[in-house]
Amino acid sequence: MGKLPMEGIRIADFTWWLAGTNATRILANYGAEVIKIESSAHMDTARNVNPALPAKPGTGVSSGYNVLNPSKLAINLNLKHPKGIELVKRLIAVSDIVSDNMSGGATERLGLGYDELVKIKPDIIVINMPVMGPGGPHSHWTGQGDQITAAAGLWHMTGYPDKLGVGPGSVLTDWSGVPYHATTAMLAALHYRNRTGKGQHIVLSQYEAAIDSLGTAILDYTVNGRVQSRTGNRSPYGAPHGVYQCQGEDRWCAIDVSSDEQWQGLCRAMGDPEWSRTGVFTTVLGRMENVDELDSLIEEWTSDRTAEDVTKRLQGHGVPAGTVQNGRDLLENDPQLKARDYFVSLRYPEGGEMYVGADSFTLSETPGRPRMHAPLWGEHNEHVFREILKLSADEYAEYELDGVFQ
């Protein structure tokens, strides 16, 4: 691929689980040398979640971990051991960025707060990604994506109006919110350092990043005093708008009609049934006031056809529609993803072949891609400690006997 844009940038990476590792994953795919720092007391939880091969135990078979950590290196280091702290400070001294998504104050308790790190490397860039951010009564709260999205109001707005709120799926902010905020902040800090020679301390509140996903809810309350709540798959701007069952087990098509032209296109696709040309369904207001009956009539038509056929017919008549795809559809049947070469096959020593997604953006001259499998537990100890930190063979052996590499 030639030289990648982040080559020459080294990240001492204390992130784990989802949001933090997703941010450093992006930079690793574009050439940064990301060194995951773990210990037996603080192993990345993702290593043992959602195993791809449940019959084969190990720290490298988790599909979640492998998706989040391609292109990275990994070391294990006991940060409760004085020599472990000594070594991690030596690593930070030759790094550009230090990243973590621990709870507020955790790095300070380890003696690795920003004020200490700038003494080691004055132009270091440090990014902390606590749940709530520093200061305030909740600054030491811990949590994960589900708790963050609930606190930020997303659960209140997601689901059906007659049922309890549900999460927005796949912990939305761990995948599409926090990581891109963090990546952008790190790139901005690198740009600033290139211009001024000075580092930065970035503090990203995952809670506040989640609130950015609310769309117009805050504005609606500010202007109208209205609290937006759950509407299921319905839209306040038109009907039909929802997900309709199709032929086959658990097969669905999403349909969105928000104009008279789209409604006429839907009618033509369905063969202009009598009920669509007369009565209450001829106007937007009539369709919205009788949406339950409308949904039932449309589903009578969709249920006799495959989701792919419904999608093709509706799109052919100018109606926004899309098959609700599952994992098999994405990997095997989606022509757009194949044309974009989105999925990358990587071979894992413990898990065999697995597919991971590339990034959603591509640079024309330097297209980053997942370049190697997610690292095994402590896979790069010798490389990092012997080649980067220049420990002699005897020193390395002594540290190992002292339990530093745990």
Element (H, E) at 223: helix 217-224
CA angle 89, 90, 91 (to 5 degrees): 90
Residue 77 in contact with residue 84, Cβ under 8 Å? yes
Quick check: is 162 catalytic? Answer: no
What is the three-class DSSP state of 92?
helix
Catalytic residue among 13, 96, 100, 174: 174
Residue 133 in contact with residue 208, Cβ under 8 Å? yes
State how far the Cα of 199 lies from the Cα of 106, in Å rounded to an integer: 21
DSSP 276-323: HHSGGGGSHHHHHHTHHHHHHHHHHHHTTS-HHHHHHHHHHTT--EEE
Q: How far is CA 195 from CA 158, 199, 208, 334, in A?
A: 44, 10, 29, 44
Per-residue burial over 250-272, b if 16 or more Cβ lie within 10 Å, else e, is: ebbbbbbbeeeebbbbbbbbbee
What is the set of active-site residues?
174
